[in-house]
Structure 1
Amino acid sequence: MLHIDMATGSRTTATTAAPTATGPMAPDEEAAASGSPPGAEPCDVVTVPARQGLEAVDILRRGADQEAVGPVLHDGSCATVGFLVPPGTAEAWDVPGSACTQSDGRGFRIPAEPPASGSGWLLPPGDDTSVTDPAALRAALDQAARLIEAADNCR
């Protein structure tokens, strides 16, 4: 599963907790630590299996509000997809089959480059990029799960 180290902004597949800063950082220090410019938008990350995530991206991009989807990451093995969502989303995220990594205000921000070697942008951030709307993502993931189940039952 795609895990983002909120202290460094790197993606790993390890399940151990990352060390955290010993004290609060100023916004510019947080941005420098995350490799993002000052003022970049902070975010949490929702990870899902690639098949469901790719279907959800298609659903979101076909929807009336195409701005509902922000930057999307994929891991090197293409096993998972990560949607960048507003900070605090993890507190209430309960979609089965997915996980939401909380930034806890520790400075993970939308990076210009993928946060770890071997990962890549499925949908890269742009100059005016915002994060994915959590409500729209929840609905798209639910619809994607139903479509996948229906397709699998047709075999």
Structure 2
Amino acid sequence: MADTGETPPCDLVTVPAREGLEAADILRIRHGVGPVLHDRDGDTLGFLVPPGTAERWDLPGSACTQTYTAARCGSEAPPVTGSGWLVPPDGARQEATEPHRLRAALSEAVTMLRVVDRCQ
């Protein structure tokens, strides 16, 4: 396929903010993370992932939506109304977060937060 110079559309994995913040830290430390959105209320985070991820995503407690052309990997403007960048495209190490790495980081984050909650 010829390079048209346009950035490809990305899908969006949405998770609760608490798990998402932990997962973003895990990814930053280990593998790098792509752009991450936060909603203005601070309830959710959204990880940009490669197009086609939504067709295979089935992690409980999260949702993955096809964005078609609304969200573009590497775009400067947040692709979702009412959101802002937690990790902006120019601060991300990748255009999009790898789905298998995101899944592993989210699973680890949930486990870690359960342990923390039991210790309180």
Q: What's the TM-score, normalizing by structure 2?
A: 0.86
**Aligned-partner SS, 1:83:** strand
Map of 2:69 onto structure 1: 107
Match of 2:25 among 58, 69, 72: 58
Match of 2:90 among 108, 126, 134: 126
Larger displacement relative to structure 2 (38-47 or 74-83): 38-47
Measured after TM superposition, the shift of residue 41 of structure 1 is 2.5
Measured after TM superposition, the shift of residue 92 of structure 1 is 1.0
Matched, 1:143 2:108: yes
Q: Which amino acid aligns with 2:110?
A: A
Supply the RMSD in Å over aligned alpha carbons.
1.9
**Aligned-partner SS, 1:126:** helix
Q: Which runs of 5+ in 2 are unaligned?
A: none
| Structure number with larger C-alpha Rg | 1
Q: Aligned partners of 2:94 and 2:8: how far apart in 1?
A: 9
**Aligned-partner SS, 1:51:** helix
Matched, 1:48 2:15: yes
Q: Which runs of 5+ in 1 are unaligned?
A: 1-27, 29-37
Render the CA deviation track for 1:98-125: whole Å, top value 9, x for unaligned.
Answer: 000013xx31313312234541100000
